[in-house]
Amino acid sequence: MPRSHIGARRLLQGVARTLAGALVLGLATLSVTSPARAADAIRVGEINSYTRLPAFTEPYRLGWTLALEEINAAGGVLGRPLEVIDRDDAGKPGEAVTAANELLMREDVDLLMGTFFSHVGLAVSDFARQRQVLFVAAEPLTDALIWSRGNAYTFRLRPSTGMQARMLAEEAAKLDAVRWASVAPNYEYGTSAVATFREALSALRPDVEWVDEQWPPQGKIDAGATAQALAQAEPDALFNATFGPDLAKFVREGTTRGLFEGRAVVSLITGEPEYLAPLGAEAPEGWIVTGYPWDTVDTPENRAFVAAYQARFDDYPRMGSVVGYAAMKSVAAIIEKAGSTDTDAMIAAAKGVMVDTPFGRITYRAADHQSTMGAFVGRTAVRDGRGTMVDFVYRDGAEVLPPEDEARAFRPE
């Protein structure tokens, strides 16, 4: 596991320093020295929920590691090697801020990247604004990060909940279904997914009506009761935003109880290998989903990425791998274009920067700092005893984002 550059000596120094600093104070003077570091490396501070959400963040770590090795093998950035110092935030915003503080003040990083949960991403983005440091948010899906609470220092890679829900709504509008019901985890991600999907679908199909909505607590779905309640409302189609263990439970109960028989299901992020693979042969068939069919996307970019990833790690890439890889490449592209690691220069460079990713070339929009990375929209199927996506198309993020001048108005500045 690549845990960068913390030798035993540095560690002991760190322990001694912090203990002394906090406990015995005056004595701290003696042990304070500046950390040893690779000469002239550009330092990137990376924060993610490694212990809280390893199913996503472990592949994510492998993804950025691969990118980092590629970048450094090609001579680094601006002639200097790139170095990553990574920290775990345990899924808690408070700890993410502590980690960001450490990275900035102790490790002297030039910029921050990472985070998974929306609220952790928001906490770090506000920290970045306060401390005037660039933050490349990798995964947090909330629209607030770039719009209502956007700031000059924060850029975001992934297509948001809203963007993915709009992609799905366009597919959903082609169905005959009129009566719809939704099930989504009861927090911001679920709420905004359902709200955006409903709004977008109603705009395209004014005749649809919503007959039920279920809001199980994240991670604690009472799947049997929820599935039964949805069936009772007799919808023509379902919109689902649950994922992870909740999804597995819901799929099992729903399948056994016949909830999905004769009903269309539109489901957010279910096509991502993180969530589809564990279902194995029990993966639902024919659901309209967003995701990443890593083995069947036949573009040169993806083939090269998959080959390099499998050669390096002896495992197949997940969505997290792509996010980690693309986030690292974004950081390199921004610094390369800026020509320095000065924060203002990097922010100026990040606006409109082009980055080559496994999904093709993306750009970070100048108006709202959102990248145009998209997602694959297709239908789930079971092939050789495991879930995959078929009949998919790549939807560019730019197609589902509002025009730049409209988006600019969403931001507080």
Partner 1 sequence: MDFLVIQALTGLASASSLFLVASGLTLIFGVTRIVNFAHGSLFMLGAYGAWTFTSGLGWAAHAGPLGFWGGVLLSALAVAALGALVEVVLLRRIYQAPALFPLLATFGLALMIEDLVRLVWGPEDLLGPRAPGLEGAVTILGQKLPAYDLALIALGPMVLAGLWWVLHRTHWGVLVRAATQDRAMVGALGVDQSRLFTGVFALGAFLAALGGAVQVPREAVHHALDMQVIVEAFVIVVVGGLGNVVGAFLAAVLVAELNAFGILLFPRIGLVLLFLVMAVVLVLRPHGLLGRPEGETRAAVPPTAGCWRPAGATGWAVGLALAGLLALLPLVADAYVVSVAAEILIFALFAASLHLMMGVGGMVSFGHAAWFGLGAYGAALAALGLGAPMAVGLVAGPLLAVAGATVAGWFCVRLSGVFLAMLTLAFAQIAWSVVFQWHEVTGGDNGLLGIWPDRWASDPAAFYWVSLAVCGVAIALLRSIVFSPFGYALRACRDSVARAEAIGIDRVRVQWLGFVMAGGFAGLAGALYAYLKGSVFPEAMAIPVSIDGLVMVLLGGLTTLVGPVVGAVAYKTLAIVVSSWTDHWPLVLGGLIVLLVIAAPDGLAGLARRVARAASRGAGPGGREPAS
Of 141 and 398, the one with the shorter C-beta distance to partner 1 is: 141
Helix-, strand-, coil-residue percentages of the chain, each rounded to 5? 45, 20, 35
Of 227 and 333, the one with the shorter C-beta distance to partner 1 is: 227
The secondary structure of residue 132, as a DSSP letter, is T
Give SS3 for 385.
coil
Q: Are 111 and 343 in contact (CB under 8 A)?
A: yes
Of 150 and 374, the one with the shorter C-beta distance to partner 1 is: 150
Give the residue among 1, 293, 243, 306 at the shortest CA–CA distance from 117: 243
- Type of residue numbered 34: S
Report, in Å, the least distance between residue 36 CB and partner 1.
15
Alpha carbon distance 276, 274 (integer Å): 6
Report, in Å, the least distance between residue 312 CB and partner 1.
18
Report, in Å, the least distance between residue 19 CB and partner 1.
6
For the CA atoms of 301, 306, 308, 312, the dihedral, rounded to the nearest 10 degrees, stands at: 160
Of 76 and 387, the one with the shorter C-beta distance to partner 1 is: 387
Sequence-ordered list of residues with C-beta below 8 angstroms from that of 13, at least 6 positions apart, any chain: 31, 33, 35
Report, in Å, the least distance between residue 192 CB and partner 1.
9
Report, in Å, the least distance between residue 72 CB and partner 1.
22
Alpha carbon distance 247, 259 (integer Å): 14
Of 289 and 349, the one with the shorter C-beta distance to partner 1 is: 289
Written as one string, the DSSP assignment of 119-150 is: HHHHHHHHHHHHHT--EEE-S---GGGTTTT-
Instruction: Map tokens 């990713």 to a residue.
Output: 357
- Tell me the longest C-alpha to C-alpha distance in the chain: 74
Sequence-ordered list of residues with C-beta below 8 angstroms from that of 29, at least 6 positions apart, any chain: none
Of 17 and 205, the one with the shorter C-beta distance to partner 1 is: 17
Report, in Å, the least distance between residue 384 CB and partner 1.
17
Alpha carbon distance 257, 113 (integer Å): 43
Give Cα separations from 20 to 13, 55, 350 (angstroms).
Answer: 10, 37, 41
Report, in Å, the least distance between residue 61 CB and partner 1.
9
Report, in Å, the least distance between residue 213 CB and partner 1.
6
Of 270 and 357, the one with the shorter C-beta distance to partner 1 is: 270
Sequence-ordered list of residues with C-beta below 8 angstroms from that of 51, at least 6 positions apart, any chain: 88, 90, 91
Of 6 and 393, the one with the shorter C-beta distance to partner 1 is: 6
Copy the structure tokens of residue 298.
């036949």
- H helix or E strand, kind and range, residue 288: strand 288-291
Of 127 and 294, the one with the shorter C-beta distance to partner 1 is: 127
Report, in Å, the least distance between residue 298 CB and partner 1.
26
Give SS3 for 254.
helix
